[in-house]
Structure 1
């Protein structure tokens, strides 16, 4: 079966620019088309990653981007899955291309993020676990991240110094990335000296919210060859909802608490939806963790990046700290993680970030990333995200 390739990737720099999200999306789209050597008239499908903070245009992002570009007549779709929105927009475009319903798809995501905490939309939402933890527990995201970080310390022996080292690594990568919002090297000592937000996490352990945009041009493999493009193959993609419940402990259950029927595996572990997405993407790509040259993971907090090392199979459970301390996950190490600089250097632009990760993997596999963060000779990469209410995604790209 024919596959789908990325032939163009473009971004708008991340920052706090204060303009409509469509400004960033259209800039990224034009950059992606230029990178692909494609004309606007060739695009017959626009797949938009939606942003609920963009008002009505944000909910109908596909049409909003097409209109902002001055286009008419293209088929459009909009995908919302919070932080996994970009991956689901890519999935929608890929499905349409593989079905033969379109020949060239443009995937776009962008955000104009407000300052401070994101206000809940739509009033009371008692069926939404995130709304419940905000309303009933007062647990906004930094506290949520801190609880997971504290658990990692208790179970695996992580230290605040490890979390700070993740930020220092990603800041060094981001310093060489012209699209990153924060381009200043940061030491682990500076992270530990920054104000405490939610113990054990400090201000520099938690990502910011940002404006930004990213876009991709996708075609079928045979069309990429015909065009003489510089393609990167989208070899595996998963954007699945988890098995439930996802609130059970990830490690073996406590003595006297056997897993309930229908939950966990033979070893008594709860379902791992992030791990499941990575596994599905690996299987489709015919690759595995041992084949990876780099990874882009979703570092909402520095501690969360360590969890991802294990989720995508870079090391066994509890091995992430050793991998980090050995330098394996920095550029020049065995499997660089977040050579873009990650969310530590970009901040969240929610609908754009899954697409931006694929832009980064594409640049690395083409050998186009800037010196100082380039992964030499890269052939296989994975991009993974986690979104609202259990949405997750993983994309494996190959050269």
Structure 2
């Protein structure tokens, strides 16, 4: 059974300081309107959990269903850090494929604090993130910088290359009405911004934002029967972990004892995500026309281009310098403007990527359209060695 995106909707990203539910309802109603489907016809609501917004955030599926008006729909809630939205989409897709749902609404929304995202207060000695933040002082920009330094050492990347990623994405985001930051940047602007974690500057790193995104999923048969225009096929959803050649069952926490895993992994978990998506969809990386990737930092975008097999290892800088990753180039990356223009609204961002690709594949991305796009892929990094990729096609 083929599952399609019948509708997509978003609430603009920003720092609005309002309840996350308000953003989610806005996005949900926009997605339903786009699909031409009434709320009363929705029989499943999957909410992306947002851990910073109290109990309502922990039961996001129920929260959104209540706010939209109880209609008897079944409820699910997903959490996978930055891969939350893709996992929520996968949950909805699976229930439709199993014949347990006909019309699923997937919603993610967040209200974020100012500054870097950090674990909630309190001592949690079995939480690798808590250990990383509290004991090592490794906030997210610190390990973004390690990724960046690795590219510099292995492939000759420069700070100017990283800055050029920001320049490209800022230019793309100018025409996106949902983007928070709609202002052009220059390489000089990026390099003149404060150094946060060498070699990354402030403008190399995405902000935290409020925002929301939603999609309506139905079967291809349902879409045809109800005359839904321009459905976009969900060709694959991947939320896999890496594969090691030798893994001990009942292994201890890897943050404190890595002896349970030996040998070199078959490939990195980010490569695993892409491979699983391509294999499920029966699509080759060379068929991809557009990509929305997780640019928490500018250097990470370059890694993702290679992880998605859109070029060989060490070639992402060459693609960037040649203009191949900009709109009009061989493989446009982040035509939405990416997190550089949106910032993080954690449970919403993977859904927002799917919204953007839906509009791209329909030819509706006014001002930032990738002409003739028929296949698009997303990528997100979650926590604890997993992430997500969604492949869409027409």
Which residue in 2 is equivalent to 1:108? 107
Q: Which runs of 5+ in 2 are unaligned?
A: 246-258
Q: CA deviation at 1:391?
A: 2.4
Matches within 5 A, 1:1-399: 2-121=1-120, 123-229=122-228, 230-243=230-243, 262-264=262-264, 271-371=267-367, 373-399=368-394
Deviation at 1:124, TM superposition (A): 2.1
CA distance in 2, matches of 1:363, 1:51: 25
Specify whether residues 198 and 71 from structure 1 end up closer, same or farther in structure 2 by C-alpha distance, changes over 3 A only.
same
TM-score if structure 2 supplies the norm length? Answer: 0.94
Uncovered stretches (5+) of structure 1, i.e. residues with no partner: 246-258
- Cα deviations by residue, 1:13-68 (Å, 9 ceiling, x for unpaired): 00000001000000000000000000011100000110001100101000000011
Partners of 2:50 and 2:317 in 1: CA distance = 35
RMSD, aligned α-carbons: 1.5
1:330–1:52 distance in 2 versus 1, CA, 3 Å: same
Per-residue deviation, residues 53-94 of structure 1 (Å, max 9, x unmatched):
110010100000001112242100000010000000001000
Residues in 2 aligned to 1:260 and 1:51: alpha-carbon distance in whole angstroms? 32
Structure 2 distance, partners of 1:54, 1:164, is: 33
> How far has the Cα of 1:261 moved from its partner?
7.3
Checking the alignment, whether the CA contact within 8 Å between 2:40 and 2:71 is kept in structure 1 is: no
Aligned in 2, Cα 1:137/1:261: closer, same or farther, shift over 3 Å? closer
Partners of 1:296 and 1:189 lie apart in 2 by 25
- TM-score, normalising length from structure 1? 0.93
Question: Structure 2 CA distance, aligned partners of 1:66 and 1:241?
Answer: 31
The answer to whether the 8 Å contact 1:277/1:392 transfers is yes
